[in-house]
Each structure stands twice: as structure tokens, then as C-alpha cells.
Structure 1
């Protein structure tokens, strides 16, 4: 594994680990941090630094813009009126299935844009 790849991995993983740790202390702040487009900012910048192709970076950014609202499908089960009676893992699994559906929607929309 290259040195740069290792640094990128360490940097991005540390953001997730810190947010996870913070979720125990201040869940509202951790939620806000995770909701920020930090991953997108990092991925766009590092990707562009790596390949230097503006056109590819623009397509990547457009894909992210479409992917963000589609990814909210994951949270839909948690907002059901009687969500707590189903238990966390049932809701989580349902959200993952909805993400799969969201991916198909995302792929279709991105295909139309290109």
C-alpha cells in the first residue's frame, strides 16, 4: 500500500471514529458533523489531486449531488409512527434495502445527465 493511500485512509477513518466517539457524548453535534458533506469534500479534493481531470471531478460532484437526497431513503423507516416497536435492526435492514432501491434510482438519474 502506498504511503499516500495510507495517509488518506487514516485521515478519513479518523473523522468517522471521532464522530462515532462524539455520538456518545454529544449526539446532536455528532449528527451535524456527519451530515456535513465532509466525505464529499475530502473525496472530491483527493480524487482530483490524484487524477487531475476536471471533467471526471465534475461528473463525480454531480453524482454526489444526486446521491445525497437519494441516500435519505435509508432514514425513512426510522420515521415511521410506530418505529420503536420494530426494533433498531429491523429498521436498519429496511433502510439498507431502501438504499439499494435508491442506488437504482441514482444510476438512472445519473445516466440521464450524462
Structure 2
């Protein structure tokens, strides 16, 4: 069993099956995630956004936020298994379903 809200104060690289790579850093107070895009059109872009998280069964965490352009992101992340499932809805209505690998950065 993973410690509740294990990810607080830590950074993780997430590589999605569509090639997207990001670095997510969660503040220790559980209020803000910093998202740094590591590749693609947004490479080098950094967002600091408020998020919500909920621990669910099986060491999974539902984590959601609204990006600066009002697009929405919902993750189901299992830090113990290194798995991420993400749903991303853009303001223009485009919808993406992604699966990826989470690596904790030291």
C-alpha cells in the first residue's frame, strides 16, 4: 500500500503513448502542480495550476486540473506501478485518451 498522497513535494516524468513527455511537480501543500512540457510544440512551456486529487482503490489517484488555456486534464495515476491514464479535453472540443509511464525524478 502506497502512502496517501505520496506524490506531494515530488517531481515525476510522464511519457504518454502518443509521444507527449511532461514533468509534473506537486507542491507539498497539495494545491499546485507545475507542468513542464519536455517535447513537442509546447516544449519548454511551464504552467503552474491548482489541482484536485483523490485517493481511490488500488493505490490509484484521480488528479485533475484546468490548464491556463482552460483545457481540462484528468489523470488516474498509480505511482507505485508507474502507470498513468489521462483524459485531455481542449477548448476546441478535441478529446485525447492517453496511457503512459510515470518515473519519479530524484
TM-score, with length taken from structure 1: 0.23
Larger fraction in helix: 1
Greater relative contact order (Cα 8 A, min sep 6): structure 1 or 2?
A: 2
Q: Which structure has the bigger radius of gyration?
A: 1
Larger fraction in strand: 2
